[in-house]
Chain A
Amino acid sequence: MAPKKNAKESANAAPVVAAPALAPVEPAPVVKPATTKPKASEASTPWDKVLINLYNHYIDETPQRTKLLDVFLVFLVAVGALQFLYCVLAGNYPFNAFLSGFGATVGQFVLTISLRIQTTEANKSEFPQVSPERSFADFIVCSLILHFFCINFIN
């Protein structure tokens, strides 16, 4: 499971998060390795434009708080990738520990994304009953449950 999940995640999570969040430091190297390569050889110009568009859009439209969340997401992806790398290189011996560590990062990642979705102004219409405060409280409760299970499972 783990490799597959990771493959998908890096494919999708990276552009959302990594590209924009790294961007403020250095706008030029936003080109993503995995997803861009097959396309770049075929039609390079539109693909470049796509990423630049994406980046500009992100910088212009995203509020400060959401950017803060994104930094956390980048951190989670980095931790998850690190754990996975360790699992591949050094073996998965304490499999419990690996699963709970990896599960914690993935779970925290999706919970943070959920928080991000619910607090975004544009999605207000979809969540009529969820105020930002409510979604933050939900986020805390869910994270507590998640980490309780992870710590219980770690052995």
Chain B
Amino acid sequence: MAVATQGASSGINSQNTRTLLRVSILFLIAAAAVASRLFSVIRFESIIHEFDPWFNFRATKYLVANGFYKFWDWFDDRTWHPLGRVTGGTLYPGLMVTSGVIYHALRALTVPVDIRNICVLLAPAFSGLTAYAAYLLTNEMTTSSSAGLLAAAFMGITPGYISRSVAGSYDNEAIAIFLLVFTFYLWIKALKLGSMLWGALCALFYGYMVASWGGYAFITCLLPLHAFVLIGMGRFSNRLYVSYTTWYALGTIASMQIPFVGFLPVKTSEHMPALGIFGLVQLVGLLQYVRSSMSAKQFQTFVITVLVGAVGIGLAGLVGLTSLGYIAPWSGRFYSLWDTGYAKIHIPIIASVSEHQPTAWPAFFFDLNMLIWLFPAGVYLLFQDLRDEHVFVVVYALFGSYFAGVMVRLMLTLTPIVCVSAAIAASQILDTYLSAKKPNLEEVTDAGATDAKPAKKSGLRVSSKPNVGIFTFVSKALVVGGMVVYLLMFVSHCTWVTSNAYSSPSVVLASRMPDGSQHIIDDYREAYQWLRQNTKEDAKIMSWWDYGYQIGGMADRPTLVDNNTWNNTHIATVGKAMSSSEEVSYPIMRQHEVDYVLVVFGGLLGYSGDDINKFLWMVRIAEGIWPEEVKERNFFTSRGEYRVDAEATDTMKNSLMYKMSYYNYHSLFPAGQTVDRVRGARLPDQGPVLNTIEEAYTTENWIIRIYKVKDLDNVGRDLAAAASFDRGQKKKASKKKGPRVLRVD
């Protein structure tokens, strides 16, 4: 769409018309970006998606209800029971504050709006801004007027970004990607102009970014790297000094304002490169200054002394302080970026999250489609005329690609630069082939002849670009037509991916009936609603941590662990309770005052994201803390298979998780036909027996099963005996087997 209009606009020479067109195109792009993210609202309803957004939503409601200062000091005793969580100091408040401000602004304008709708629609709204930021960033890179618009269009609809910003996906990334791109734009601007003001703006937006997303470390590392590469290329300039030092001095102080970040910028290794480059820039700036006043020989000795001295002192200081413990070494999450196997061995909790897995290569095509092959071309084009800001793109492209290959979720940080450089490549093609003018034959051959010779001498020089054009109409039409086809395919691919892969709220599942109509599976909300209405206000719910935020947000009940995962031991405790036998689990649950246990079971419906499939991670995490009591090996059969059917190991069959999942399941099927549809296993006819907990509620499709933890027995028996007695009584009542029961007693 943008391309066609742009093509038409090149014929019109009036400056005003062009501006008008550009503005309207940008608005259309923003509208398209917002519209393509609304699939989920239209298909389902205006609902918060997935897991983390539920916490953000809950925190936003708290902020709106209690004001900023209460929010800042919020201690939440309804999570991580019995520890609680200092929520105000352990979250990135940018997202909640942004929606709070929007909410109050709209209220002040007397627009009656529900906070939920603001939260649901925040991500699409910011995606429009992201498209605009991509436009600005690209315009700094190239003189071609169409590149910026193309970049905006790409940014608006590329699935790599949509995956985190559909309506309802109320997560930090929703605003962080806009801030990321805009901070980079301000940085480039500051660097180009050497202006303190732009540097300060860059620092302010960096501060906003720090307040919004943990991914700010990407900026913290990328800008120094850019500065370092520029210095290494001998391109140090006073502009670099002004922009970098202004950004660092202001940005670091700004980032320390967030309680969750606090002293980290001076205490952790992730932030040390920025500091080191800050020192280096000072040093090089000094050398630059001194150079003007002495002879080359003297300067050399001066340089060597100062450089060796300062770098030596700096490195020694860093190593010394790290070994003394003043500076924290790299965190585990960071190591896992370099060694993809690291997390699996040392920190299972990081490896257990699916978005921390390495990226499969089809994902690049799936998320970026044709941009992924235009991307290197764009980077190459920037190499041809390698100005300071182009170095930035090259550095960003290299690092972004690496990180995107390591972790699925970091595809998100790669996407902006892919859009920018792909747009540069695409606009280069279109600009070359779309020009209606026929090049003058003599001029071109003249230019070609004069250019040919120096080109051979210095192949890398910028000036050696031969100045030729396209003559025949056929080749123009062919290339432009091909490009248009690709762009259209890109649009249809993006729409298809968005509607099929990224627009499911995952709280509500959809399936198709045989006649093609949509059937909504709403077990999650059914279960949470049941909890909300049928349990005490402070009934503690134990579940695996994935569901902690949802229980807190939808059922409003205290949980033991949630998606914040700040306390590995506490999570391992839950893992141990789930993976041990009832005799071991019951004391754990009593100690933690658990009232209800919630498990997710997809066996009936074939819903594969259930707890039995996540079970091995619970075992591994528990094994990390109690290697003696929980052993992963015991959950595999002697042939190394993970089975749930009759061949499952005893440890597996006795584990609380297994029992809770399959309790009474066989009663749904005729004898001998009990089937688990996720794992394709035929289950034994005799289901597991539960002594210490009892079934409280099971949803329509059995996706969520809730069990109530039994109280201690009234007459002091242990619960197993009491339960078997109860069963015996029932049997006696129905089948008259009195004497046997008496003998047992």
Contacts and interface: CB of A to CB of B under 8 A. Distances in A.
Given A103-B253, A139-B196, A127 B239 contact: yes
B329 interface: no
B263 A111 contact: no
Interface in B296-326: 297-298, 301-302, 305-306, 309-310, 313-314, 317-318, 321
Interface string A114-155: 110110001100110110000101110110011001101100
Contacts of A122: 292
B230 interface: no
A54 B263 CA distance: 39
Interface in B267-321: 267, 271-272, 275-276, 278-280, 282-283, 285-286, 289-290, 292-295, 297-298, 301-302, 305-306, 309-310, 313-314, 317-318, 321
Contacts of A94: none
A8 to B, nearest CB: 3
Contact of B294 (A50, A110, A130): A50
A56 to B, nearest CB: 8
Interface string A21-48: 0000000000000110011000100110
- Scoring B204, B283, B309, B318 by chain A CB atoms within 10 A of each residue's CB, the highest score goes to B309
Interface residues of B, number: 59
A142 B193 contact: no
Nearest to A60: B293
Given A1-B327, A118-B194, A15 B290 contact: yes
A103 B310 contact: no
Given A12-B285, A12-B286, A142 B196 contact: yes
Given A47-B301, A126-B194, A130-B193, A142 B289 contact: no
Contact of B306 (A35, A54, A104, A127): A35
B253 A8 contact: no
Contacts of A13: 282, 286
A8 B195 contact: no
B194 A54 contact: no
B257 A145 contact: no
A35 B257 contact: no
A115 B298 CA distance: 28
A145 to B, nearest CB: 6
Nearest to B207: A149
A111 B283 contact: no
Contacts of A118: 194, 196, 238, 242
B263 A145 contact: no
B254 A149 contact: yes
A150 B249 CA distance: 11
B309 A130 contact: no
B196 A111 contact: yes
Contacts of A35: 305-306, 309
Interface string B577-590: 00000000000000
A92 B41 CA distance: 53
A65 interface: no
Given A127-B239, A149-B253, A54 B197 contact: no
Interface string A81-108: 0000000000000010001100110110
B138 interface: no
B246 interface: yes
A46 B238 CA distance: 28
A5 B200 CA distance: 21
A73 B309 CA distance: 22
A150 B253 CA distance: 7
Contacts of A78: none
B212 interface: no
B340 interface: no
A16 B278 contact: no
B interface majority secondary structure: helix
Contact of A50 (B272, B275, B302, B314): B302
Contacts of A110: 245-246, 248-249, 282
B241 A113 contact: yes
B575 interface: no
Given A13-B282, A35-B306, A39-B301, A7 B254 contact: no
B294 A9 contact: no
Contact of B310 (A8, A61, A145): A8
Contacts of B297: 46
Contact of A141 (B194, B197, B276): B197
A126 B237 contact: yes
A7 B305 CA distance: 14
B317 A3 contact: yes
B289 A5 contact: no
A107 B286 CA distance: 17
B286 A16 contact: yes
A64 interface: no
A146 B253 contact: yes
A46 B245 CA distance: 32
A114 B272 CA distance: 23
Contact of B321 (A3, A11, A47, A113): A3
B282 A114 contact: no
A153 B253 contact: yes
A15 B241 CA distance: 18
A99 to B, nearest CB: 7
A58 interface: yes
B115 interface: no
A39 B318 CA distance: 24
A118 B194 CA distance: 9
Given A3-B321, A107-B250, 12 more contacts: A8-B283, A11-B309, A11-B313, A12-B310, A34-B309, A43-B301, A117-B242, A118-B242, A123-B238, A127-B238, A142-B196, A142-B246
Closest 4 CB pairs of A and B: A8-B279, A57-B293, A107-B249, A1-B266
23 contacts: A3-B321, A5-B278, A7-B314, A8-B283, A13-B282, A15-B290, A16-B286, A35-B305, A38-B305, A46-B297, A46-B298, A49-B298, A50-B301, A53-B294, A53-B298, A111-B249, A114-B241, A114-B245, A115-B196, A118-B242, A138-B196, A138-B200, A146-B253
Interface of B: 193-197, 199-200, 203-204, 237-239, 241-242, 245-246, 248-250, 252-254, 256-257, 263, 265-267, 271-272, 275-276, 278-280, 282-283, 285-286, 289-290, 292-295, 297-298, 301-302, 305-306, 309-310, 313-314, 317-318, 321, 327
